[in-house]
């Protein structure tokens, strides 16, 4: 052991060959890249910000407020807020178990279900509306049986909620699924060792830890539902006070 230590101590020190690059040179060499990134980012923000600013400042606030207070506009706004809140509620109620299933349980066909969940986000809105009509219309796959029972879904407020949920729920599911996948399952294991039930662990341990993902998913799904038009106009129509 002493011989090995002596050999290691007496071995020549290897120094890196080539020019030594100082920190100052490295920082200066990065300035062109930083400048390019700043220019590209600034142009993109201008591309996004100028149209939004034009939309916001096209009319005076008093004019916009007076238009909102018009009976037809105010009624449409109330209906939009009501239907989007219901859509988000349905998305959370059904989307949370789906997100947990896809994030934590490995089973055959999981990739197929993940694709199925994401598909409404890439479908053209009108195609989504046609798909809902083919499924729940009076001669649709399910709608024909509902029609026998006297239940009509298309061109009703229920159709609005269904169309909004169809296009908005994937945003909540994917956001919640990402939060669950990033969560360390050791917290759950620790709760189980303390004899906590699965429901208690999910409610008191998992949900608080993924709160940012939940809030992000709720916000994204609500915004998507509020901005939905193509699927809604195709499946629910345009009837003042109803759709």
Residues 192 and 109 in one domain: yes
pTM, two decimals, is 0.80
pLDDT bin (cut points 50, 70, 90) of residue 192 is confident
Residues 209 and 230 in one domain: yes
Give the least confident one: 12-26, 108-122, 150-164.
12-26
Question: Which two structure tokens, joined as six digits, stand for 207?
Answer: 């949900």
Residues 83 and 171 in one domain: yes
**Residue 164 near residue 87, CB atoms below 8 Å:** yes
Neighbours of 8 (CB within 10 A): 8
Look up the domain containing 78 and give its range. 71-235
Distance of CA 33 to the CA centre of its chain: 32
Task: Give the CA distances from residue 56 to residues 16, 60, 83, in Å, rounded to whole numbers and listed in that order.
Answer: 59, 9, 25
* CA–CA separation, 68 and 85 (whole Å): 20
Range 199-226 average pLDDT: 94
Count of domains for the chain: 2
- Return the pLDDT at 26: 47
* CA–CA separation, 117 and 111 (whole Å): 10
Query: Mean pLDDT of all residues in the chain?
Result: 86
Range 2-15 average pLDDT: 46
**Residue 177 near residue 95, CB atoms below 8 Å:** no
- Say if 136 falls within a structural domain: yes
Residues 45 and 94 in one domain: no
Give the least confident one: 32-36, 130-134, 167-171.
32-36
Range 31-49 average pLDDT: 90
Find where tokens 């290897």 sit: 14
107: left (phi over 0), alpha (psi -120 to 50) or beta: beta
Residues 51 and 112 in one domain: no
Residues 164 and 214 in one domain: yes
- Say if 85 falls within a structural domain: yes
- Say if 54 falls within a structural domain: yes
Question: Which two structure tokens, joined as six digits, stand for 219?
Answer: 């916000």
Given a cut of 80, whether residue 75 has pLDDT beyond it is: yes
Give the least confident one: 33-47, 54-68, 127-141.
54-68
**Of 80, 55, 79, nearest in space to 225 by CA:** 80
Give the best-scoring range by mean pLDDT among 15-24, 47-56, 207-216. 207-216
Residues 185 and 228 in one domain: yes
CATH of the domain at 158: 1.10.3720.10
- Say if 243 falls within a structural domain: no
- Cα angle 42, 46, 47 (rounded to 5 degrees) comes to 115
**Residue 236 near residue 155, CB atoms below 8 Å:** yes
**Residue 185 near residue 128, CB atoms below 8 Å:** no
Residues 155 and 218 in one domain: yes
- Say if 209 falls within a structural domain: yes
- Return the pLDDT at 145: 94
Residues 117 and 43 in one domain: no
- Say if 130 falls within a structural domain: yes
* CA–CA separation, 213 and 200 (whole Å): 20
Residues 75 and 178 in one domain: yes
**Of 223, 231, 72, 237, nearest in space to 157 by CA:** 237
Question: Which two structure tokens, joined as six digits, stand for 138?
Answer: 């009076």
Range 86-99 average pLDDT: 96
- Say if 196 falls within a structural domain: yes
Given a cut of 90, whether residue 97 has pLDDT beyond it is: yes
pLDDT bin (cut points 50, 70, 90) of residue 149 is very high
- Say if 187 falls within a structural domain: yes
Given a cut of 60, whether residue 12 has pLDDT beyond it is: no
Residues 41 and 111 in one domain: no
- Return the pLDDT at 68: 80
């Amino acid at each position: 052991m002493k011989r090995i230590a002596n050999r290691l101590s007496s071995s020549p020190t290897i120094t890196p060959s080539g020019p030594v690059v100082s920190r100052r040179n490295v920082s200066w060499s990065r300035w062109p890249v930083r400048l390019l990134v700043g220019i590209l980012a600034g142009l993109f923000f201008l591309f996004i910000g100028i149209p939004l600013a034009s939309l916001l400042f096209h009319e005076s606030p008093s004019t916009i407020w007076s238009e909102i207070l018009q009976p037809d506009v105010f009624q449409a706004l109330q209906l939009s807020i009501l239907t989007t809140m219901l859509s988000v509620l349905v998305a959370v109620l059904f989307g949370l178990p789906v997100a947990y299933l896809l994030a934590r349980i490995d089973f055959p066909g999981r990739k197929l279900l993940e694709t199925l969940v994401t598909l409404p986000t890439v479908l053209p809105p009108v195609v989504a509306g046609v798909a809902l009509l083919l499924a729940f219309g009076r001669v649709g796959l399910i709608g024909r049986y509902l029609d026998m029972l006297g239940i009509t879904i298309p061109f009703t407020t229920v159709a609005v909620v269904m169309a909004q949920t169809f296009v908005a729920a994937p945003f909540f599911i994917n956001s919640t699924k990402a939060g669950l996948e990033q969560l360390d399952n050791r917290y759950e294991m620790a709760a189980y060792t303390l004899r906590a039930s699965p429901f208690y662990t999910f409610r008191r341990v998992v949900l608080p830890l993924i709160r940012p993902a939940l809030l992000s998913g709720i916000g994204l799904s609500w915004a998507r539902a509020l901005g939905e038009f193509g699927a809604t106009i195709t499946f629910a129509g345009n009837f003042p006070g109803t759709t």
